[in-house]
Amino acid sequence: MKIAIGSDHAGYKLKKEILPLLEERGLSFEDVGTEGPDSVDYPDFAKEVAEKVAAGTVDRGILICGTGIGMSISANKVEGIRCALVHDVFSAKATRQHNDSNILAMGERIIGPGLAQEITAAWLDTDYEGGRHALRVEKMMNIEMK
């Protein structure tokens, strides 16, 4: 599995806490930035990660900003993206099982590094169930087509 990960300045520290988890799991990842605490615009990083996921150059994406809200809204503007804003382990599993989310968004100002690592691990480890959820995901994605 290949992951694209990005953050703005408000999510930079938490992103740095997630990278070792990806390394420990032997996952290939591409860090699209930002590279420090200087103020940047979150839509730029959300767009870059989302476009990589939508194009299939990576399998999934992770986005982090202060709350995760701006990143998730921005990423979901890209066709084919199902970005889920998650701040608990149950939701991380559910969004993979039921929604086949392809991008995880989190907020550094909302959760700490330990919980963020647990959420990331649960999201990475959980498979999409398909079945009864497939029609719902298809309907959700068809909304983009209008």
Closest CA to 108 of 91, 120, 123: 120
Angle formed by the axes of helices 12-24 and 113-125, to 10°? 50
Let me know if 87 is a catalytic residue.
no
CB atoms within 10 A of CB 87: 16
Catalytic residue (choose from 65, 83, 87, 133): 65
Peptide bond into 34 cis (omega under 30): yes
Let me know if 83 is a catalytic residue.
no
Catalytic residue (choose from 9, 83, 98, 133): 98
Q: Which residues are catalytic?
A: 65, 98
